[in-house]
């Protein structure tokens, strides 16, 4: 077992091997964690791989992460991950690091003709003709000692990840598209930054229907729940569900009895949170207009359906020219955001996703399509 990986379980050992990693140009990176009813995942293991060498890092025994943080934040070292979102989130919380110069092999696979969002096991099998063990996938990564099969599973993940990277990187560089994947990979890290508690209300389904003091109620409730969830490491829904927050904002109950009658909040939660909920509602009732949040953009108006169809056809045409899946170029959500931004005024704002490598291929033809439609429907 020990000749296949090195076990790192103290600060001194981590500092020593981190010096070795700092000299590498590429490292494969993975994490194992447990997420149940908590807000934050519980980190159980960090795996690092360079060519045929693998290190398994025990986060339950280490408290000085500075050597590893320096490596993970070094823009000169490529960090290879697969479907990096959760790994980036876990490392950001536990180590306080934002990964730099990342390469997501799931993104790369989509650029190279494999299914978009392909699983890691399927990608390894497709590229390396190796079937990875699955027995330890859902095992308890917080138990100690880890079972041999857990260690072998974890080590194999980064061992083959390094080889998958070599294969994908070579093909992408030959096509002059390596930078595209690197850009999209780094954007995944940026998009994964925590939403400020005071802005979380914008994520709730149906929030766009609220305005004025009711939208302020929702903002206050979401901020309160977000702060409580983070402070107590509790699942948001375990505190109050989204639908309950929306109903509270709609009904604005003023007493504990009304919390139960109008919103159907369980008695236990009323005992825990009732006074706070009523206080936030009263605060919104006493607010001034200048305290109210701006209304959230509504879903795309029905009269924009044809324009959305036309814009998606533009994307499909460009995708065929580039031999890429259309969903890599532009997802429906991004296109709808673009169209919503100017649906009433004609002053359209290009979403951030269409900067970078996409700008060259998409911004002009989509803008022309939008402009043509606007002029045709707003002739004087």
Q: pTM (2 decimals)?
A: 0.94
Whether 171 and 226 map to the same domain: the answer is: no
Can you tell me the distance from the alpha carbon of 190 to that of 186, in angstroms, rounded to the nearest whole number? 6
> For residues 162 and 60, what is the distance between their CA atoms, to the nearest angstrom?
25
pLDDT digits (tens, 9 = 90+) for 272-311: 999 999 999 999 999 999 999 999 988 888 888 899 999 9
Amino acid 380: pLDDT = 53
In a domain, 324, yes or no: yes
Does residue 13 fall inside a structural domain?
yes
CA 170/CA 322 separation, integer angstroms: 18
- The predicted pLDDT at position 379 comes to 67
Could you tell me if 125 and 207 lie in one domain?
Answer: no
The CATH number covering residue 273 comes to: 1.10.150.80
Domain termination residue (choose one: 264, 291, 318): 291
The string of DSSP codes covering 68-127 is HHHHHT-TTSEEEESSTHHHHHHHHHHH-----SEEEHHHHHHHTTSPTT--HHHHHHHH
Domain assignment present for 1: no
- Predicted confidence at residue 2, as pLDDT, reads 38
Can you tell me the distance from the alpha carbon of 67 to that of 22, in angstroms, rounded to the nearest whole number?
9
33: CATH: 3.30.420.10
Instruction: Assess if residue 369 is contained within a domain.
Output: yes
Residues 64, 120 share a domain: yes
Domain boundary among 270, 291, 312: 291
Please tell me what DSSP assigns to residue 52. T
The Cα-based distances of 254 to 71, 119, 315 in angstroms read 53, 49, 50
297 domain-assigned: no
Q: How many CB atoms lie within 10 A of CB 87?
A: 25
pLDDT over 70 at 3, yes or no: no
Average pLDDT across the chain, whole number: 95
User: What is the pLDDT averaged over residues 242-257?
Assistant: 97
Nearest in space to 90 (alpha carbons), one of 142, 17, 50, 35: 35
pLDDT tens figures, 334-356: 999 999 988 888 899 999 999 99
Domain annotation covers residue 228: yes
Query: What is the residue range of 358's domain?
Result: 302-377
Residues 91, 146 share a domain: yes
Q: Residue 3 in contact with residue 52, Cβ under 8 Å?
A: no
Examine residue 145 and say whether the peptide bond preceding it is cis (omega within 30 degrees of 0): yes
224 in the same domain as 89: no
- Residue carrying the six token digits 């209300």: 201
Q: Are both 273 and 318 inside the same structural domain? A: no
- Cα distance between residue 75 and residue 210, in whole Å: 43
Evaluate whether residue 138 is within a structural domain.
yes
- The model's pLDDT over 131-165, given as tens digits with 9 standing for 90+, comes to 998 877 789 999 999 999 999 999 999 999 999 99
89, 176: one domain: yes
Contact 25, 72 (CB under 8 A): no
> Is residue 363 one of the residues assigned to a domain?
yes
Residues 185 and 268 grouped into a single domain: no
Average pLDDT over residues 355-380: 90
Please check whether residues 55 and 176 belong to one and the same domain: yes
Residue ending a domain, choose from 291, 312, 343 = 291
- Total structural domains in the chain? 3
Of the listed ranges 91-95, 125-129, 138-142, the least confidently predicted one is 138-142
pLDDT at 374: 86
């Amino acid at each position: 077992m020990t000749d296949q990986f090195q076990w790192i379980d103290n600060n001194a050992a981590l500092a020593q091997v981190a010096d070795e990693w700092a000299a590498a140009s590429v490292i494969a990176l993975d994490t194992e964690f447990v997420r149940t009813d908590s807000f934050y995942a519980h980190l159980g293991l960090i795996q690092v791989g360079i060519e045929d060498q693998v290190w398994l890092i025990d986060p339950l025994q280490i408290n000085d992460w500075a050597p590893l943080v320096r490596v993970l934040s070094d823009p000169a070292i490529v960090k290879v991950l697969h479907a990096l979102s959760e790994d980036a989130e876990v490392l950001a919380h536990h180590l306080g690091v934002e990964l730099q110069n990342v390469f997501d092999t799931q993104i790369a696979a989509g650029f190279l003709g494999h299914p978009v969002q392909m699983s890691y096991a399927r990608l390894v099998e497709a590229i390396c003709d190796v079937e990875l063990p699955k027995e330890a996938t859902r095992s308890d990564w917080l138990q100690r000692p880890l079972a041999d099969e857990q260690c072998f599973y974890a080590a194999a993940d980064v061992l083959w990840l390094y080889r998958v990277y070599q294969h994908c990187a070579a093909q992408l560089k030959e096509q002059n598209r390596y930078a595209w994947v690197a850009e999209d990979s780094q954007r995944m890290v940026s998009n994964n930054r925590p939403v400020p508690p005071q802005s979380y209300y914008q994520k709730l389904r149906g929030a766009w229907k609220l305005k004025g003091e009711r939208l302020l109620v929702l903002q206050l409730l979401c901020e309160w729940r977000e702060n409580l969830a983070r402070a107590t490491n509790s699942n948001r829904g375990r505190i109050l569900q989204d639908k309950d927050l929306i109903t509270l904002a709609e009904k604005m109950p003023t007493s504990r009895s009304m919390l139960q009658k109008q919103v159907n909040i369980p008695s236990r939660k009323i005992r825990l949170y009732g006074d706070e909920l009523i206080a936030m509602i009263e605060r919104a009732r006493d607010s001034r207009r200048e305290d109210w949040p701006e209304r959230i953009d509504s879903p795309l108006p029905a009269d924009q359906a044809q324009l959305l169809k036309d814009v998606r056809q533009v994307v499909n045409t460009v995708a065929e020219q580039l031999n890429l899946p259309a969903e890599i170029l532009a997802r429906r959500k991004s296109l709808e955001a673009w169209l919503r931004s100017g649906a009433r005024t004609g002053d359209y704002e290009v979403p951030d996703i269409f900067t970078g490598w996409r700008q060259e291929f998409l911004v002009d033809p989509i803008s022309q399509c939008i402009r043509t439609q606007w002029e045709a429907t707003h002739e004087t």
